[in-house]
Amino acid sequence: MLAARAAAAGVPDWVRAHLSVPLPAHGDKTSAVVLYSETTVNVERDGKIRQLQRRVFKILRPEGRARGGAAITFLTSQTRIRRMHGWCIPAEGKNYEIGDREAVETALAGILNGELAGDVRTRFLQVPGADPGSIIATEIETESTQPYNQPIEWVVQDTVPVREARYTLEVPAGWTYEATWLHHEPEEPTSLGRGQWQWTVTDEPALLLERRMPPAQQVLGRVDIALIPPGGKFRGFKSWDAVAAWYLGLTLDRREPSAALKQRVAELTASAPTLLAKMQALASAVQSDIRYVAIELGIGGYQPHRAADVLTHGYGDCKDKATLLTTMLAQIGVDSYYVFINSARDAITQDSPANIGFNHVIVAMRLPEEVQDPALQAVLRHPRLGRLLLFDPTDPYTPFGRLSGALQSSYALLVTPDGGELVKTPLMPIEGNGIHRTAHLTLDGNGTLHGEVQELWLGDRASAQRAALSSAAGEADRTRPVQAVLASSLGVFDILKATAEDGQAPGHPLEWRYTLEAPSYAKRAGNLLLVRPHVFGNLSSDLMETPEARAYPVEFGGPERDTDEFDIALPPSYEVDELPPPVDVDDGFASYHSKTQEVAHVLRYTRTFEMRAVTIPAASAAKLKQLYRTIEGDQRAMAVLKSIP
């Protein structure tokens, strides 16, 4: 029936050929399946690439409507979209066909506050009728150049099952290729003739999406294909040294200091008594005084603007800020280098072929021997260059000497005049990130709890709070972070007063002080009063409470230590009858310790939680699940008070 209607409506043969094929294996909750995927790449002698992409989906559930169309993100300076087309063959009713005139093109949605000017565009084609039971087919034809020697990438896997996927490569006489398979068993191609190869995969399982899983680049099955013209001149990067040499070529004239730049360096460092203080002054100026604005047109997506221009205009993106800072540091005799990294940990690893698939740039400063300070924690020890201090001049909240969690323990490309190499960024000390909470509270005979709370927020936890406070529209918005913490544990409460200190000082803890009142906090049971010693601050999680076994490692932002100390002065007419037992758990990657005791008619609850690892393997998922359950049980545990006759 579907095939007959499709033929009558002029649906292409390549679509009709897959209307009646059996579905790939899938679960009850699968939203859609890929019946057929075809990519044909034709390389011309001048290196221009013509690509044809065809997809056939079947929508199974309402959530699958998102598959009812096609989208392509491209650089207008490199790619021309020759045509986009789509078809819908619904289970019942009229077929739909749409083309280029219905496509919508937009600029890339915002990067850091939406401040972006560039030639990256996304073109959408939404096919009507993408309801359960419908077949959706799309076709995109493009023509492009690859001036930056990037390999061609074919992503084999999808987040839904794939019945059949084909990839055809056609190159001119004398050309060849080199294929690197990642996160997938290598597949051998079939030769279709001189200069033509085709890869085929069938029954590809869906990529399982899990919370806090590694980035897609680290888990999606794919193949990178580097093109090799006659003579063996590699169209791609043979090594990380080649990537470094290419990038340094783009920056040759970008770090020439102007007279204004030299003067600005002198002004910023004039009152700094030590070399370290001078480095801090320059880093702080670039971090806070240069506004983040990305202008990336053509090669500007990779090539930074001149340091002197960045200083004059007062804005730039991550590579511009890094260029300005390295230029300034050179004026005080400090060597520094570009470091390419990803905002998602280990999107590139040691197994990745050399490429430019990084989305962020930071700086590595070579520390002279006389510069010694325990606050300098983001130090990479290099066998040839010595101590390198990593610093992100784009991050307005992470202080000099530290790295944000997303950039810790991640592979990055260190770019030096002697070449490039992948390095592993350091983990920050655990005591530099977390929340330390102290509360002095009083419980009255009616069960109402009230008192004072002090919280010290450190590291990434402080950065998140500072970001929230900087965007707060009024006093009500400023207290939302406190309200969110209390609401996770208290049913009814009032914040009587709340203040945040040092909210804009990245090098110091952010301090919250507030007064709270929680009516009916304690629950009566006859002559007993039930009191939860842990008052608020949820450290448990339902992250691991899934029916399926964990497939991928669990990623955390960074090492963290949280402490709580709640003192609850008890009502005079009650005494302690029963206390919750202490908890002591240490799994290596994390630990949790709590204790409840009575001290001079005060119920004192203390606990410490440490997350030491940032990546926990799937094999330890059961331990992590049990740890969270233990924490949840401890947070709910009750102390029993009995009335004094």
Q: Where do the DSSP E strands lie in 171-293?
A: 176-182, 190-193, 196-204, 222-228, 291-292
- What pLDDT does 421 receive? 94
Q: Residue 436's beta-bridge partner residues?
A: 456, 563
Indicate the DSSP class of residue 371: -
- What pLDDT does 500 receive? 86
- Amino acid symbol at 588: G
Q: Residues 444, 395: one domain?
A: no
**The tokens of 449 are what?**
């709890």
Between CA 148 and CA 609 the distance in angstroms is 47
Q: How distant, in Å, are the alpha carbons of 72, 162, 222, 346, 449 from that of 155?
A: 14, 12, 4, 18, 57
Q: Residues 416, 437: one domain?
A: no
- What pLDDT does 3 receive? 53
Task: State which residues of the chain have pLDDT below 50.
Answer: 1, 4-5, 8, 110-115
**The tokens of 240 are what?**
């990380």
Q: Residues 287, 322: one domain?
A: yes
**The tokens of 545 are what?**
């409470």
3-state secondary structure 303-340: CCCCHHHHHHHCEECHHHHHHHHHHHHHHCCCCEEEEE
Q: Residues 210, 253: one domain?
A: no
Secondary structure class of 57 (helix, strand, coil): strand
Closest C-alpha among 299, 244, 313 to residue 118: 299
Domains held by the chain: number: 3
Q: Residues 246, 225: one domain?
A: no
Closest C-alpha among 575, 549, 554, 562 to residue 611: 562
State which of 203, 232, 261 marks the end of a domain: 232
Angle ∠(409,413,415) on CA atoms, nearest 5: 135
- Taking 3-state DSSP, the helix, strand and coil percentages for the chain, each rounded to the nearest 5, stand at 20, 40, 40
Between CA 110 and CA 102 the distance in angstroms is 24
- What pLDDT does 113 receive? 46
Is the Cα torsion angle 131, 135, 141, 146 positive or negative in sign? positive
Instruction: Report the CATH number that the domain containing residue 327 is assigned in CATH.
Output: 3.10.620.30
Q: Residues 23, 65: one domain?
A: yes
Secondary structure class of 581 (helix, strand, coil): coil
Q: Which single residue is written with the structure tokens 């758990």? A: 585
Between CA 457 and CA 437 the distance in angstroms is 9
State which of 405, 428, 451 marks the end of a domain: 428
Closest C-alpha among 456, 485, 458, 482 to residue 469: 482
Between CA 599 and CA 618 the distance in angstroms is 42
Q: Residues 420, 436: one domain?
A: no
Is the Cα torsion angle 226, 229, 233, 235 positive or negative in sign? negative
Between CA 52 and CA 303 the distance in angstroms is 30
303: containing domain: 241-428
Between CA 210 and CA 374 the distance in angstroms is 38
- What pLDDT does 638 receive? 96
Q: Residues 412, 470: one domain?
A: no
- What pLDDT does 229 receive? 83
| Residue 95, phi then psi, degrees to nearest 5 | -75, 155
Sequence-separated (6 or more) residues with CB below 8 Å from residue 494:
516, 517, 518
Q: Buried b vs exposed e over 331-361: b needs ≥16 C-beta within 10 Å?
A: bbebbbbbbbbbebbbbbeeebbbbbbbebb
Q: Residues 447, 345: one domain?
A: no
Q: Residues 126, 21: one domain?
A: yes
Instruction: Report the CATH number that the domain containing residue 85 is assigned in CATH.
Output: 2.60.40.3140
Q: Residues 42, 165: one domain?
A: yes
Q: Residues 331, 336, 337, 340: what is their CA dihedral angle, to the nearest 10 degrees?
A: -110
Between CA 385 and CA 59 the distance in angstroms is 56
Q: Residues 265, 169: one domain?
A: no
Q: What is the pLDDT of residues 67-82, one digit of tens each?
A: 888 888 877 778 889 9
Strands 523-525 and 590-598: unpaired
Sequence-separated (6 or more) residues with CB below 8 Å from residue 628:
540, 541, 542, 543, 544
Q: DSSP string spanning 192-258?
A: EETTEEEEEEEEEPPPPP-TTPPPHHHHS-EEEEEEE-GGG--BS-SSHHHHHHHHHHHTTTTSPPP
State which of 374, 400, 428 marks the end of a domain: 428
